Amino acid sequence: MESGTFTIASKALRELVNITPPIEDILASLPSGSGVLYLFNPHTTAGLTINEGADPDVSRDIIKGLEHIVPLHLHYRHLEGNSPAHIMALLTGSSLTIPFFDNRLQLGTWQKIFFCEFDGPRTRSVSWQILHDSAKASDQPRNQEK
């Protein structure tokens, strides 16, 4: 079963952490294949996204934008005080799917994969699975009855 988990150490309260390098390493370590990689974030005050990674200012602008979009000091009821982080998690989403071909991510020119920390700094984990391996599917004819 091709699946696993890796950890991320965030360093700020709110931060986009580029996790493309560890994911590229995982893909490179697998038997040859093409398909779709699936990432799942088990945390409720964090998310996963794909966005521009060439200019680090984009990540900072995204965090700044989210701090304006989500009310930080509303009269929230959750006593832990991190309701804005839970809302940012909803807006971002808890999983990603990324196509890969011959063990290489098929990201766009400017795309990188980011873990979105909204209540750090913390040690976090992300799990992965190979959701679909089209190499296997293409090895055999699709309509087996013919």
Of residues 79 through 98, those in contact with a copy of itself by CB under 8 A are 79-80, 83-84, 86-87, 89-98
7 binds a copy of itself (CB under 8 A): no
Among 9, 11, 74, 104, binds a copy of itself (CB under 8 A): 74
Which of 98, 89, 74 minimizes the C-alpha distance to 19?
98
- Alpha helices by DSSP H, listed for 1-144, are 20-29, 56-69, 83-92, 134-139
Q: Helix 56-69 vs helix 83-92: angle between axes, to the nearest 10 degrees?
A: 120
Asked if residue 118 lies in contact with residue 85, where contact means CB atoms within 8 angstroms, the answer is yes
Residue 36 exposed, middle or buried by CB count within 10 Å (0-12, 13-18, 19+): middle
Identify residues 15-34 at the interface with a copy of itself (CB under 8 A): 31-34
Instruction: Assess 144 for contact with a copy of itself (CB under 8 A).
Output: yes
Nearer to a copy of itself, 21 or 65 (CB): 65
Tell me which stretch binds a copy of itself (CB under 8 A): 6-14, 17-25, 56-64.
Answer: 56-64
Closest separation in Å from C-beta 11 to a copy of itself = 19
Query: Is residue 122 involved in binding a copy of itself (CB under 8 A)?
Result: no
Q: Answer whether 12's CB lies under 8 Å from 122's CB.
A: no
- If the CB atoms of residues 9 and 54 are measured against a copy of itself, the closer one turns out to be 54
Q: Least distance from C-beta 113 to a copy of itself, angstroms?
A: 10
User: What is the end-to-end Cα distance of the chain in Å, rounded?
Assistant: 30
| Token reading at 80 | 């832990």
How many residues contact a copy of itself, by CB under 8 A? 74
Candidate list 4, 21, 42, 121; residue touching a copy of itself; CB under 8 A: 42
